[in-house]
Amino acid sequence: MELIDGVLVKRLKVIPDERGRLMEMLRADDPFFEKFGQVYLSTTFPGVTKGWHAHALQTDHITCVKGMIKLVVYDGRADSATRGRVNEFFIGEHNPCLVRVPAGLQHGWKCVSEQEAYIINVVSEVYHYENPDEIRLDPHDNDIPYDWTRKDG
């Protein structure tokens, strides 16, 4: 898959021992790390789609630590070499990854596991309740060339 300009995927290493597991997600010395705004946990119930949304300033670093999600990113930026491209990532317990989504890209996810998915997002900006940096679209009624339904076959 050709990645959208600015999107990066970091495979995460799980280190198990007799006490449990450790998995580093994002480090300040990662070459793509910009700055720290905040960290939040979001959960999504099975079959639920959360999207679409974009940010004018914020970069997201998305990891699913329980369950599985289908994370989709769309490049609608007018000045982008990858304008119109869609990237689809299946991340979570069976594929531990961190996906970097830069500002300006529409993105969202759908829980594809039979259990609630737990998503951790490390963002570059602090959330401003009175003036959120969010551009939201309906997940199903929009101009993005993507269908959230499962592809059987």
> CATH code at 62?
2.60.120.10
Q: Is residue 153 in a domain?
A: no
Q: Label residue 109 exposed, middle or buried (CB < 10 Å: 0-12, 13-18, 19+).
A: buried
Cα(93)–Cα(119) distance, integer angstroms: 11
Low-confidence spans in the chain with pLDDT less than 50: none
Q: Which domain holds residue 63?
A: 8-26+33-131
pLDDT of residue 74: 98
Q: Is residue 20 in a domain?
A: yes
pLDDT of residue 153: 87
Whether 77 and 104 have beta carbons less than 8 Å apart is answered as yes
Q: Is residue 67 in a domain?
A: yes
Cα(26)–Cα(33) distance, integer angstroms: 8
Whether 104 and 134 have beta carbons less than 8 Å apart is answered as no
pLDDT of residue 68: 98
Cα(150)–Cα(132) distance, integer angstroms: 31
Nearest to 49 by CA among 145, 123, 1, 117: 117
Would you give the end-to-end CA distance of the chain in angstroms? 20
